Structure 1
Amino acid sequence: MKTLAEVDELADRAHAGQVDKAGVPYVAHVRAVAAGLEPFGPHLAMAGLLHDVIEDTGWTAERLRAAGIPARVVALVEAVTHHPGTAYEEKLRRIAEDPDATLVKIADNAHNSRADRAAALPPAQRERLAAKYRAARAVLWPAADPGDIATILRVVNPGLLRELTTR
C-alpha cells in the first residue's frame, strides 16, 4: 500500500504545472482538502489528495490502482469525479449516498468556498460559484454528521463554522 507521503508526491506530479482559478499551484488545493480529511484516516486523506486527479489530469482509475493506490481510495476518487452528461445536482445526490465520499466533497467544497480564494475572482464569477457551493452544502451537509463537518471546517475553512451552527 502507498503511504500518504507517496500519494502526496503522486498528486504533486499529476497536477504539476496546473494552477487554480486564482493562479495558485493546484496541488495546494488538493493538499488543503487532504488536511481536512486527515482526522478520518489515511484513506480519506489520500482521496483528498487525489480527488481531482481523474477529472483534471491524464490519470485514470486503472492507472491509480496499478500505481498501488488502495481500491477504496480509487472508489472514492471515482465517486467525486464529474462525468460528462451528469448534472451537478445528480452528482451531489450520488456522492451523498456514500458517507466517505460525502466527507471528501465537503472538504473540497469548504476549500473552494474560502473567501481568500474567491477574492481573486471577478465579482460575477465569485457570486456564481458562491451560490453553487451553497447549494452543494444544502445537499451534502444533511448527509454527514455535524461533528465530522465541523472537524473538516476547522482545518479547511473556519469561516463556514457559523453557517454550520445556524443550519
Structure 2
Amino acid sequence: MIIRHFTWETAVPDLTLAEVEALAADAHSGQLDRIGEPYLGHLRAVAAGLAPFGVGLQMAGLLHDVLEDTGLGADDLLRAGVPFGVVATVRRVTRAPGVAYQAMLQQITTDHSATLLKIADNAHNSVPARAARLSAPDRERLLARYRAAREVLWPVVAPADVRAIVGIVNPSLLVELEAFTRLGG
C-alpha cells in the first residue's frame, strides 16, 4: 500500500490517477465482487464512466468503496496524497453504519459529484451480463433496489450527464433513461 508521510511543512503532492488506481488495487487486494470477479474490475468500470467529468471523479470512482470495504480510513487516503475533494466525495458515498440505503441516497443527491459517482456505481451493478450471474432471488432483489435508486439519482442531474455515464458503463440503461426523460423524470 502506498502511504506517504504528511507533515504541514512538507505537503505531499497529490497522487496521479495511476497511483490512485494502485492504491485502490492494494486496498481491495484479494477481494471479489458479488459475481466472483476481482473487485478492481468494478472500480475501473465505475471510474471509466466518470471520465467525461475529470480525473478527480475518476479517482473517487476508483476509491468509492475503500472506506466501507477495507481497513483504510479517510485520514489514510489524505496521508497517501489523495486530493481532499476526492476524499470528500468518497466519504459522501460511503454508507454510515445504521443509515438506511434510501436515506443514504437522499444525502448523496445533495452533492453533484457524489450523485454522478453513485450513478456510475449503480450502472455497473446493473449490467445485465453481471446480474445474470447472480442467483435468481439476489438478482431480483438487487435489480429492484438499483431501479429504485435510479428514480432518486437520475432526476437531480442533467439527462446528458446520466447519458454520458450509462453510455460508457451500461448502454442497456439508455432505453430506461429515454423512457424516464419522456415521462418528465
CA separation in 2, counterparts of 1:15 and 1:116?
23
1:126 aligns with 2:136: no
1:19 aligns with 2:62: no
Q: Normalising by the residue count of structure 2, what TM-score does the alignment of the two structures yield?
A: 0.90
Q: Normalising by the residue count of structure 1, what TM-score does the alignment of the two structures yield?
A: 0.99
What amino acid is the match of 2:42? Answer: H
Deviations 1:54-99 (A, max 9, x none): 0000110000000000000000000000111101111000000000
CA separation in 2, counterparts of 1:162 and 1:106?
15
Please give the root-mean-square deviation of Cα atoms over the aligned residues, in Å. Answer: 0.5
Identity %: 58
Name the residue aligned to 2:70.
57
Runs of 4+ in 1 over 4 A off after TM superposition: none
More helix by share: 1
* Matched ranges for 1:1-150 at <5 A: 1-150=14-163
What amino acid is the match of 1:165? Answer: E
Deviations 1:125-167 (A, max 9, x none): 0000000000100000001110010000111000000000001
What amino acid is the match of 2:44? Answer: R
CA separation in 2, counterparts of 1:8 and 1:116?
25
Alignment: residue pair count: 167
- Runs of 5+ consecutive residues of structure 1 not aligned to the other structure: none
How far is the alpha carbon of 1:39 from its aligned partner?
1.0
Name the residue aligned to 2:8.
none
Larger Rg: 2
